Amino acid sequence: MSKYIVIQSFVGSGTWYKTEENLHGLYNDVLIPSYKRYCDRHGYRHVIYTDEYELLEAVNSKSGSNHGNLYHQYLSILKHKEEDIDYIVLPDADFYVTRNAKPFPKTKGLAGDLWMKSSLQDRGKDPETFTAIYGGFQIMTKDIAMGLAEWIKQRMLDFVIKDKELQLHPNMLVVGEYLTEHQIVPEPLDFEYNYILDSIKLGERPWTDVDRDTGFWHLYGKNKSRQLRYVLQHADGI
């Protein structure tokens, strides 16, 4: 049986949006525990890291932003270097996972949602030569995950100590640099593992058959509490 470890991070406010929501309570009391319940059902190990790392504090200080925290999950991978695991899974903290959630798939390297060619072009990247995946949810083999984490750590050290340029945001373009440099071709991931519920007019949104079967709700953007209320009001058909 394959061994999975799920790593989630929640550092500081946990969001780049200005909001009056109590995200600390929402994430730590409701959303992250929903992922833990899922992991317990399937025999996956689940860990959550909330303490800041010295390296990321230095990166944030030098960059004048808090974008270094976008890489907290990736550096957390290094805590598990000596463990007997097959796959490392990185979901954002703003997921609500229901009982409909299916087991994780396997991957030969890395699985995630591929960036559209037009999005890469908008960022000045050649989609024929540059590879990137969206954030939110990724599954990697242990070897791929460790290599990526070590590479990111070194890039950050070079930024802090040697003034080597490092684009911090969007962080997935930096991850894309690693994938491109090491010729890693991501496997497309089914949308059901990263089912995005955006900040839309939820009162006008019908509950569909696809929604009914969905297990991984990504409460993306603002109004996360409202999105969660929408899911919980409909998920059991009550």
Closest CA to 230 of 213, 194, 205: 205
**Is the C-alpha dihedral spanning 202, 220, 216, 120 positive or negative?**
positive
pLDDT digits (tens, 9 = 90+) for 103-146: 999 999 999 999 999 999 999 999 999 999 999 999 999 999 99
Q: What is the pLDDT of residue 199?
A: 62
pLDDT band at 77 (very low <50, low <70, confident <90, very high): very high
All domains of the chain in start order, with CATH:
4-190 (3.90.550)
Q: Provide DSSP, 59-86.
A: HHHHHTSSGGGGGHHHHHGGGGTTS--S
> What's the whole-number mean pLDDT along residues 142-165?
98
Average pLDDT over all residues of the chain: 92
Distance CA 116, CA 130 (A): 11
**Mean pLDDT, range 201-211, rounded to an integer:** 82
Q: Which has the minimum average pLDDT: 114-123, 148-157, 191-200, 226-235?
A: 191-200
Average pLDDT over residues 141-157: 98
pLDDT, position 20: 58
The edge-to-edge listing of strands for the beta sheet with 4-9 is 45-49, 4-9, 87-91, 137-141, 110-112, 187-188
Please tell me the least confidently modeled range out of 97-101, 133-137, 183-187, 204-208. Answer: 204-208
